Structure 1
Amino acid sequence: MGILVAILMLIGGIAIAVGGIWFIIVTFQESVLWGLGCLFIPFVSLIFLCMHWDRAGKPFLIQIAGLVPFIIGAALSEPGV
């Protein structure tokens, strides 16, 4: 069971990281100010996502999809391990 948990959490973590990096790349492609704002100011990422869904939606959905196996793996893990 431990290997399954590790694989699920690894796959989820990789998907979350890839989606997050891709999202930041998209923000910097729009402008340096959007990129810096998304990195350092709370809720700017959400505003960017709403305003530029056509470009930022796919990386966001990849992050959400990565949460599913990560949360399942965390739920299956043994407490305290």
Structure 2
Amino acid sequence: MEAIGMILLFIGMAIAFIYSIKLIILAFQESILWGLLYLFLPFANLYFIITRWAKCRGPVLKSLLCIPFILLGVMLMPLTLDY
């Protein structure tokens, strides 16, 4: 079961990574300044997503697909710690 949990966790992380890269690309397509602000200024990414919801809606909603994969993956992994 832990192998399935690892696979689901990896799939969820891959989905989150791919759609976060798509959001960064959208910010850089707006302008180089927005791209740099998105990367380095706290909460600039949230402001960018809220103010440009029409463009960012798809990647944001698709990135929410990672939540069930990550939760199931963590739940299927063993809870024992071997030291």
Name whichever structure is richer in helix by fraction: 1
Note the alpha carbon deviations across 1:5-54, whole angstroms, 9 max, x for none: 01111110110010000000000001111111110011111101111111
TM-score between both structures, scaled by the size of structure 1: 0.90
Q: Distance in 1 between matches of 2:40 and 2:67?
A: 23
Q: Distance in 2 between matches of 1:55 and 1:73?
A: 30
Task: Give aligned-pair identity as a percent.
Answer: 33
Q: Where does structure 2 lack aligned partners over 5 or more consecutive residues?
A: none
Q: Which moved more, 1:19-28 or 1:71-80?
A: 71-80
Q: Where does structure 1 lack aligned partners over 5 or more consecutive residues?
A: none
Counterpart of 1:36 in structure 2: which amino acid? L
Q: Who is 2:78 aligned against?
A: 78
What's the RMSD between the two structures over aligned residues? Answer: 1.3
Q: Distance in 2 between matches of 1:27 and 1:50?
A: 12
Runs of 4+ in 1 over 3 A off after TM superposition: none
Is the radius of gyration larger for structure 1 or structure 2?
2
